[in-house]
């Protein structure tokens, strides 16, 4: 990382064409163009291929919108799906010929739209990634996640956070925890707020319940584990290595199960009768390991799902009578196969969940400000390494959450004043 980047003196320059990544202009001076990592249809594929650096126009700011100078950007699966063009091409959703991914950021408010009253240039913020119309019944008294125009910023919208600037709706801004570094503040939004809605509101986990958490050391999992503990329930954490097990132990896991101890557990399409039997045997063995953690012959009250095809039949089978399976993703495949008899005979419920609304994000962010929930930033990448960070995520080589430095010149800086002084 270059810790001695030049700072331009722009007093005499009304509208600079652009400035280099890491150069900090005067607060509020908006250049015409910016550096960005851009996905285009012709290079859909794995992150190293799909993400390419380009010079792009700085987006216009609408009345309800805010331009944010990105100091650090968080990495999550949205960028991988966008770059793959699967399961949908997001460029067909927002109808632009480019896509700048990135649904997590910390940064500085750089310009505010005419209707934005609660924020001003210079405010230090983190962003949540839900957009909605702000005018319909769902947005006014209901749940904005039910708005017909609901979109995930940085996925279904073109100007995400892997760029010097991003444009967001004013309602997406949240106060950045003042003592937290830019990179840590950029790391938690998408996965934490998603896990919050799943655990607190959708599954409504109760004290004393048992919760099985797949991928407990991953982006969603580290927050699900902390939230389950905070709510007085028991966290039964599934991981795939001793190192990952160590991480969830530090977060308070009550039981740690290594899924590698259960070969044959993963569902594969077109399985033979022998494979089916081996899978059911492995699933029952896993069930017994869960009984041991719980201390009696009962399954988890809640299963925290996002793995999808490979684990979903086990999630349905393992959940206790009247259990809830709450799901927000399907990393291993979207076509889910399961034996529905286990669902109806034992009266279980499948609950779909998607990100979170602004009120839930605010509630969740308060817990971060108070230190009751902690970000679990395990690695920080440079701006040049943004495709690499996504590649490692796709290969399941990361733990917790990771972020990338964008405007901030080095690790460890917490606010604009300190950052300008460091350049």
Ligand X SMILES: NC(=O)c1ccc[n+]([C@@H]2O[C@H](COP(=O)([O-])OP(=O)(O)OC[C@H]3O[C@@H](n4cnc5c(N)ncnc54)[C@H](OP(=O)(O)O)[C@@H]3O)[C@@H](O)[C@H]2O)c1
Residues of the shown chain interacting with ligand X in the complex, contacts defined by CB under 6 A = 76-77, 190-191, 194, 214-215, 217-221, 238-240, 244, 259, 266, 306-307, 310-311, 328-329, 331-332, 354-355, 393, 396
**Cβ neighbour number for residue 3 with a 10 Å cutoff:** 10
Quick one: DSSP state of residue 60?
P
Closest approach, Cβ 394 to ligand X, in A, equals 8
Identify the CA nearest to 164 among candidates 41, 16, 49.
16
Supply 260's token pair: 């590698």
**Cβ neighbour number for residue 285 with a 10 Å cutoff:** 14
Give CA torsion, residues 264, 265, 266, 268, to 10 deg. Answer: 60
Closest approach, Cβ 363 to ligand X, in A, equals 17
Q: Is-contact 237 208, C-beta < 8 A?
A: no
Residue nearest to ligand X (CB): 218
State residue 119 phi and psi, 5-degree precision: -135, 155
Closest approach, Cβ 387 to ligand X, in A, equals 16
Closest approach, Cβ 76 to ligand X, in A, equals 5
Helical residues (DSSP H) of 85-204, grouped into ranges? 90-94, 182-185, 189-196
Please say which residue, 19 or 81, places its beta carbon nearer to ligand X.
Answer: 81
Closest approach, Cβ 97 to ligand X, in A, equals 24
Supply 226's token pair: 């902390």
Residue with tokens 């003592």: 179
Please say which residue, 234 or 399, places its beta carbon nearer to ligand X.
Answer: 399
Closest approach, Cβ 373 to ligand X, in A, equals 16
What is the rounded distance in angstroms from the CA atom of residue 304 to the CA atom of residue 227?
12
3-state secondary structure of 377: strand
Please say which residue, 191 or 320, places its beta carbon nearer to ligand X.
Answer: 191
Closest approach, Cβ 221 to ligand X, in A, equals 6
Please say which residue, 268 or 276, places its beta carbon nearer to ligand X.
Answer: 268
Q: H or E element: which one contains 124? A: strand 124-127
Please say which residue, 76 or 171, places its beta carbon nearer to ligand X.
Answer: 76
Residue with tokens 């509208």: 15
Chain Cα centroid distance, residue 389: 14
Please say which residue, 190 or 303, places its beta carbon nearer to ligand X.
Answer: 190
Q: Is-contact 276 185, C-beta < 8 A?
A: no
What pairing do the DSSP bridges indicate for beta strands 65-74 and 52-57?
unpaired
Closest approach, Cβ 418 to ligand X, in A, equals 30
Please say which residue, 188 or 355, places its beta carbon nearer to ligand X.
Answer: 355
Please say which residue, 171 or 311, places its beta carbon nearer to ligand X.
Answer: 311
């Amino acid at each position: 990382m270059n810790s001695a980047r030049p700072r331009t003196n722009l007093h005499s320059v009304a509208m600079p064409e652009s400035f280099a990544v890491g150069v900090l202009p005067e607060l509020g001076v908006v250049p015409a163009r910016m550096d960005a990592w851009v996905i285009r249809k012709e290079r859909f594929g794995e992150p190293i291929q799909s993400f390419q650096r380009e010079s792009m126009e700085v987006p216009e700011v609408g009345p309800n919108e805010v331009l944010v100078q990105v100091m650090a950007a968080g990495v999550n699966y949205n960028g991988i799906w966008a770059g793959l063009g699967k399961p949908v091409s997001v460029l067909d959703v927002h109808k632009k010929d480019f896509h700048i991914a990135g649904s997590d950021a910390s940064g500085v408010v750089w310009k505010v739209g005419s209707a934005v009253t609660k924020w001003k240039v210079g405010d230090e913020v983190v962003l949540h990634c839900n957009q909605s119309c702000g005018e319909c019944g769902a947005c006014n008294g209901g749940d904005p996640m039910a708005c017909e125009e609901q979109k995930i910023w940085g996925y279904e919208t073109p100007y995400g956070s892997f760029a010097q600037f991003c444009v967001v709706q004013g309602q997406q801004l949240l106060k950045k925890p003042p003592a937290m570094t830019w990179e840590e503040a950029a790391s938690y939004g998408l996965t934490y707020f998603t896990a919050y809605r799943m655990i607190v509101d959708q599954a409504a986990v109760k004290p004393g319940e048992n919760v099985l958490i797949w991928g407990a050391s991953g982006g969603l999992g580290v927050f699900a584990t902390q939230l389950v503990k905070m709510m007085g329930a028991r966290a039964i954490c599934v991981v795939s290595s001793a190192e990952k097990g160590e991480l969830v132990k530090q977060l308070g896991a009550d039981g740690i199960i290594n899924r590698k101890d259960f070969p044959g557990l993963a569902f594969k399409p077109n399985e033979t009768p022998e494979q089916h039997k081996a899978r059911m045997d492995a699933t029952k063995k896993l069930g017994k390991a869960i009984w041991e953690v719980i201390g009696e012959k009962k399954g988890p009250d809640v299963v925290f799902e996002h793995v999808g095809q490979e684990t979903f039949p086990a999630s349905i089978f393992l959940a206790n009578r009247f259990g809830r399976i709450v799901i927000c993703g399907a990393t291993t495949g979207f076509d889910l196969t399961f034996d529905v008899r286990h669902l109806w005979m034992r009266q279980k419920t499948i609950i779909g969940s998607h990100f979170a609304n602004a009120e839930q994000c605010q509630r969740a962010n308060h817990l971060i400000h108070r230190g009751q929930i902690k970000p679990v930033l395990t690695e920080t990448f440079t701006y040049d390494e943004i495709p690499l960070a996504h590649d490692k995520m796709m290969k399941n080589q990361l733990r917790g959450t990771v972020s990338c430095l964008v405007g901030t010149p080095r690790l460890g800086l917490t606010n604009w004043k300190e950052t300008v002084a460091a350049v």
